[in-house]
Structure 1
Amino acid sequence: MTADLLLTRLLHAGAVWRGLRDEAAPLPDIPEVFALVRDMPYARASTHDPAGIAREWRGTCSTKHELLAALLAERGLRSTVIACTQEIVPPPGAPPELVALTGGRSVVDIHNYLVVHAPQGDMVVDATWPLNAAGLPVNPAWVWGEDQRVACIPLETWPVPEGESVADFKARLLRERYTPEELERREAFIREVGRFFLTAR
């Protein structure tokens, strides 16, 4: 465990600045840390550095889970980042603006989530979608020892090897499995979804 909890303090400061926490409040516990990361807007950060992600207060499935894994590690909790292929089709009830972005066709992607090695046993954790993402698979709370819902239907699944960057592992899988045309469509979709969540109120 990192005694000074620098990353947790940075998360707390960002939450205070946004009116989400009181400045004098104790540092957030792990369930609240999860909630703060989950509720960051779904949009690409410019970095994969956990401190940079926390400062920008945004992330996609990869960067949110890189940040969350680092925050958990500060509390002495190990986790494994998982990568899986998926085909994105907005579920019934998703905002019509998001449904329109797919053009009625599935969008390929590599999704990331965590397996947290908690004292109660391994638990699946997925902080991808903010609580206000109506119609999308949101996890409303961290419950120790209980698996959360993965934000997609995984097709193929791999643990990201220890020591390999999540970004490099994901980029390699994308190149191996999808055509340039599929990847171009994926990039456009993620960019537009990010704009939607950054402007949504």
Structure 2
Amino acid sequence: MTADLPLTRLLHAEAAARGLRDPDAPLPDVPEVFALVRDMPYARAETHDPADIVRGWRGTCSTKHELLAALLAEHGVGSTVIACTQEIVPPPGAAPELLALSGSEPVVDVHNYLIVHAPQGDMVVDATWPLAAAGAGLPVNPAWVWGEDQTIACTPLESWPVPAGESVADFKDRLLRERYTSEVLERRDAFIRAVGRLFLAGA
């Protein structure tokens, strides 16, 4: 564990500035760190730097889990980022913009989540969707329970651990380019941007 927990301190300060924590409260423990990252709006961060993700207070599955992995490391908890292919089919009650973009074909993507190497054993952790997304029928993990697997925010088709030393973004981009056409990826990007606009509008 890093004694002064600089990233956790930054997370606390940003959460307090946004009215999400008491400025005088002790630093968040691991379950609350997870909750704060999970409840950041789902939208693309400007960079993959953990501190910048905290300052921007937003992230997708890749940047949220890069941030969460860095925060967990400060608390002495190791983790592995997992990448998996998926097909997204918006639920019938989804926003018309999302339904129009998905059309009759699923939206393809590479999803990221964590395998956390907890003292109680490895556990699946997925902080992708904020609690507010539950109303839209998206799979939300309401709490961190040590040693218990969480629900992955998709049905994985193929899965890989992101190799040590390789950036999550580069690994994800390589998988996407190897498996899908440019037209399919353009539709994916439009869909993700639309989801981000919807979440930020409600933030």
**Category of TM-score, reference length = shorter chain:** over 0.9
Residue type of the partner of 2:43?
A
Separation in structure 1 between the aligned mates of residue 50 and residue 2 of structure 2, nearest angstrom: 15
Map residues 70-89 of structure 1 onto 2, 5 A cutoff.
70-89=70-89
Separation in structure 2 between the aligned mates of residue 157 and residue 108 of structure 1, nearest angstrom: 14
Q: Alpha carbons of 1:36 and 1:7: their partners in 2 closer, same or farther (altered >3 Å)?
A: same
Separation in structure 1 between the aligned mates of residue 167 and residue 25 of structure 2, nearest angstrom: 34
Partner of 2:197: 195
Residue type of the partner of 2:196?
G
- SS for the counterpart of 1:158 is strand
Matched residues, percent identical?
Answer: 81
Separation in structure 1 between the aligned mates of residue 149 and residue 126 of structure 2, nearest angstrom: 9
Residue type of the partner of 2:143?
A
How many positions carry a matched residue from both structures? 201
Separation in structure 1 between the aligned mates of residue 38 and residue 169 of structure 2, nearest angstrom: 19
Gaps of 5+ in 2: none
Cα-Cα RMSD = 1.2
Q: What TM-score, normalized by structure 2, do the two folds share?
A: 0.95
Partner of 2:140: 138
Q: Which range moves more in the overlay, 88-97 or 25-34?
A: 88-97
Q: Alpha carbons of 1:27 and 1:125: their partners in 2 closer, same or farther (altered >3 Å)?
A: same
Q: Which range moves more in the overlay, 56-65 or 87-96?
A: 87-96
**Cα deviations by residue, 1:55-92 (Å, 9 ceiling, x for unpaired):** 00000000000000000000010000000000011245
- SS for the counterpart of 1:80 is strand
Residue type of the partner of 1:83?
A
Question: 1:94·1:136 contact (CA, 8 Å) conserved in 2?
Answer: no
Q: Which range moves more in the overlay, 3-12 or 102-111?
A: 102-111
Gaps of 5+ in 1: none
Q: CA deviation at 1:95?
A: 5.0
Partner of 2:34: 34
Partner of 1:154: 156
- SS for the counterpart of 1:181 is helix
Q: Does 1:125 align with 2:120?
A: no
Q: Does 1:90 align with 2:78?
A: no
Q: CA deviation at 1:93?
A: 5.3
